[in-house]
């Protein structure tokens, strides 16, 4: 087993020596930071492609290819020319012999020498392989896939969320890299702005990132997990974000000038490190990347990616918004024009109501519970338009939940109009086993729509979708301290086409959980 970074950092913190081992400690040179990162298990690809390769936002005739030139991953600015020409190639085979597209991209210091190549002219519904070349070096080879058109018999995809680097290795991403998938959806908290301690990820051993250079170094540390780079190279990704990409529990429309400057820095660094197609029509829109989008996987699945940070107001306001006026109008328009397909919303924070105990208040108003009127408006619109087959996939909670979605969660006679699956985290610490055992039944009693809760494990979800059924497999790792931890299926839930609500697979219903509603 590779050195266990989680316990090493905890021990260093207890000894008062955390600054000596944490790669982002202030004052370290890029070489010293890299040495510290490698001492706690980080590895990097061959320079200048140290951070790997990735693809994203697959469509029927194209995909977005990504890499970033970072010979010194922890340098705020790379010692490179202002412009470096990066060759790229796409082929029909892993040997890159049957080339279908190639070109040159000017990687600029302005965007950290990142590369975002929108490749078009590809065939629908097939795999392609790609690579980059710069400064005499060829990158690793990545694999991607375009979206199909027309009738589709099945789609298989995964979601991941919440990957606090100090809390454990990304064995979940190792599992994702080895899955047979069409694509991956990342639901947010790709990085954390806080320090090196484990637990609930909010203690600090160095100043929080404030500048583009600070956030670049943070992303470089997280990309040092080899399993994350493998998962990026194996499949195309769709992406949204939550709060820790900037700062905990932030509102994108609040704060003064210092915060807005920090947010812009975080957004730029995020864009520099992600296979993200910016703008809904391919036009660049920095410093405010356009996250929300709607994509089809043939006639089988309509994926709606939501941005629940950039446009939100403060919580608990009478006229508060989590979507913003424009995104809400766009979402409602899509609901009104929904095709006959499975409708999957990629949602970074819990949509379903969650009271902590019977008769108690909401637990976290940072999620949709802090925007009650807008939630009721949106879900009421889903119900009134008659849209069926809604499945919401969610991250953030570091625990697994399965909920029935109702237009009015306080009214048990309100009809079920969909299902929400909230997935375990990749590595970010959940509540303790004692907390989960005590509060699982309390949450179950307080929320009649809550069907399942399990908070003691880490992993990712895999979704198998056919015209008849949507199945969620909860994949869990054995130990986040082990980068090679085996992956197993904890349980599976099904949703039948045209029937609102989920049910647990009889073959896995005996698996451990802190709450399970039997009926």
Residues in a beta bridge with 219: none
> What percent of the chain lies above the pLDDT cut of 90?
89
pLDDT confidence bin for 486, thresholds 50/70/90 = very high
Residue 506 CB: number of other CB atoms within 10 A?
8
Instruction: Give the pairing of strands 301-305 and 293-297.
Output: antiparallel
- Report the relative pairing of strands 450-454 and 515-516 from DSSP bridges: antiparallel
State residue 415's pLDDT score.
98
Residue-wise over 107-137: b if at least 16 C-beta within 10 A, else e? beeebbbbbbbebeebebbeebbbbbebeee
| pTM of the model as a whole | 0.96
In this predicted structure, the answer to whether residue 2 has a pLDDT above a threshold of 70 is no
Mean per-residue pLDDT, 266-286? 81
Residue 34 has pLDDT above 70, yes or no: yes
Q: Is a pLDDT exceeding 80 seen at residue 200?
A: no
What is the average per-residue pLDDT within 240-265? 94
- What is the tens place of the pLDDT at every residue in 39-65? 999 999 999 999 999 999 999 999 999
Strands (E), 23-126: 53-56, 63-68, 83-91, 99-108, 114-119
Place of tokens 């790609």: 130
Residue 282 confidence (pLDDT): 47
pLDDT on residue 243: 98
Task: Specify the pLDDT at position 286.
Answer: 73
- Please state the rounded mean pLDDT for residues 173-200: 89
Task: Please give the mean pLDDT across all residues of the chain.
Answer: 94
* Whole-number Å distance between alpha carbons of 500 and 264: 41
Render pLDDT for 407-440 as a digit per residue (tens, 0 to 9). Answer: 999 999 999 999 999 999 999 999 999 999 999 9
Q: What is the average per-residue pLDDT within 363-387?
A: 97
Query: Is 198 a residue whose pLDDT tops 90?
Result: no
Lowest pLDDT segment from 10-24, 309-323, 335-349: 10-24
In this prediction, residue 204 carries a pLDDT of 46
H or E stretch covering 39: helix 30-39
Q: What local confidence, expressed as pLDDT, does residue 71 receive? A: 98
What mean pLDDT comes out for the span 484-490?
Answer: 98
Can you list the domains of the chain with their CATH numbers? 5-39 (no CATH), 53-145 (2.60.40.380), 155-511 (3.60.21.70)
Q: What are phi and psi of 271, to 5 degrees?
A: -60, -40
Which stretch of 18-22, 292-296, 340-344, 355-359 has the lowest confidence by average pLDDT? 18-22
């Amino acid at each position: 087993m590779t050195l266990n970074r989680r316990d090493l950092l905890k021990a260093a913190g207890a000894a008062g020596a955390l600054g000596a081992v944490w790669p982002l400690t202030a004052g370290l040179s890029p070489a010293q930071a890299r040495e510290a990162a490698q001492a706690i298990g980080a590895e990097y690809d061959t320079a200048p492609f140290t951070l790997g390769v990735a693809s994203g936002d697959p469509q029927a005739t194209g995909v977005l290819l990504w890499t970033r030139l970072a010979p010194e991953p922890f340098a705020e600015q790379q010692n490179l020319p202002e412009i470096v020409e990066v060759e790229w190639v796409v082929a029909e085979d892993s040997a890159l012999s049957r080339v279908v597209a190639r070109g040159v991209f000017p990687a600029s210091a302005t965007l950290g020498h990142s590369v975002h190549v929108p490749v078009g002219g590809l065939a629908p519904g097939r795999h392609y392989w790609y690579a980059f070349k710069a400064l005499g070096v060829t990158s690793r080879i990545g694999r991607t896939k375009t979206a199909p058109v027309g009738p589709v018999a099945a789609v298989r995809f995964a979601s991941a969320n919440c990957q606090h680097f100090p809390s454990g290795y990304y064995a979940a991403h190792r599992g994702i890299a080895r899955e047979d998938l069409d694509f991956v959806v990342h639901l947010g908290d790709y990085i954390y702005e806080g320090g090196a301690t484990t637990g609930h990820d909010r203690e600090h051993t160095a100043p929080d990132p404030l500048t583009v250079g600070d956030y670049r170094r943070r992303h470089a540390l997280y990309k040092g997990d080899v399993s994350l780079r493998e998962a990026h190279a194996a499949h195309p990704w769709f992406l949204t974000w939550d709060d820790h990409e900037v700062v905990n529990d932030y509102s994108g429309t609040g704060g003064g000038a210092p915060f807005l400057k920090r947010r812009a820095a975080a957004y730029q660094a995020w864009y520099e490190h992600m296979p993200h197609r910016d703008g809904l029509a391919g036009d660049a829109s920095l410093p405010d990347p356009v996250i929300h989008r709607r994509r089809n996987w043939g006639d089988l699945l309509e994926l709606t990616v939501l941005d629940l940070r950039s446009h939100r107001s403060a919580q608990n306001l009478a006229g508060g918004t989590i979507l913003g006026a424009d995104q809400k109008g766009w979402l409602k328009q899509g609901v009104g024009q929904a095709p006959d397909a499975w409708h999957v919303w990629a949602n970074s924070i819990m949509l379903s109501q969650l009271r902590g105990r019977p008769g108690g208040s909401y637990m976290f108003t940072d999620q949709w519970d802090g925007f009650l009127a807008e939630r009721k408006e949106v879900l009421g619109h889903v119900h009134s338009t008659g849209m069926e087959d809604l499945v919401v996939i969610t991250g953030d909670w570091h625990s697994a939940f399965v909920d029935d979605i109702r237009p009015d969660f306080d009214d048990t006679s309100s009809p079920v109009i969909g299902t929400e699956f909230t997935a375990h985290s990749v590595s970010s610490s959940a509540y303790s086993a004692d907390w989960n055992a005590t509060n699982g039944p309390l949450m179950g009693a307080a929320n009649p729509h809550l069907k399942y809760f399990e908070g003691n494990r880490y992993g990712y979800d895999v979704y198998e979708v056919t015209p008849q059924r949507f199945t969620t497999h909860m994949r869990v790792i054995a130990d986040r301290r082990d980068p090679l931890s085996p992956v197993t299926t904890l349980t599976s839930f099904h949703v039948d086409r045209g029937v609102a609500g989920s049910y647990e697979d009889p073959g896995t219903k005996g698996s451990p959980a802190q709450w399970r509603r039997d009926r």
